[in-house]
Amino acid sequence: MTRRGIETLVGLFVLAGFVAIGYLALKAANLAAMTVGETYVVTARFDNIGGLKPRAPVKSAGVTVGRVASISLDGKTFQGLVTMDLETRFAFPKDTSASILTAGLLGDQYVGLNPGGDDENLAAGDTIRMTQSAVVLETLIGQMLYSRAAEGGGEAKK
């Protein structure tokens, strides 16, 4: 193989490496699967959003149906206000519930939608009323340790 052919192959290999790094960067920033179609905006209030981030997926039955547009704190209720962009091809009933879930044991968090049975659908600007906050692992461990300590303290007095 000539020197020019080897240099061309090395160049193609480096180019493929840059493309792979770019793809991984988009996946890590959660930008690779942005919604392309038209969307409508709905909001939900949560007592604790955990580690939920903007651009996190909104899923129903494991299918991505939208993205988290923004997260803010409501100054009156002191709850996390999550604004979501849902694709218009997915119409959810008004009594849909929203939960903050975790993908796997240590995975990223996302919003899970569970459709209700109402005849009317959510429209742009509506608020999802039934919500379930994120389960924070540190809180669960703290509660378990506290209950174990309380049980152990009662046995020491006997």
The full set of domain ranges for the chain reads: 1-32, 39-143
SS3 107: coil
Confidence band, pLDDT 50/70/90 cuts, at residue 34: low
* Structure tokens belonging to residue 17: 């490496």
Name the average pLDDT for the chain.
85
What pLDDT shows up at residue 58? 92
What pLDDT shows up at residue 23? 85
Tell whether the model's pLDDT for residue 64 goes beyond 60: yes
Residue bearing the bigger pLDDT, 143 or 14: 14
| Nearest Cα residue to 128 out of 118, 138, 137, 136 | 118
What pLDDT shows up at residue 83? 95
pTM score of the predicted model: 0.68
Amino acid at 4: R
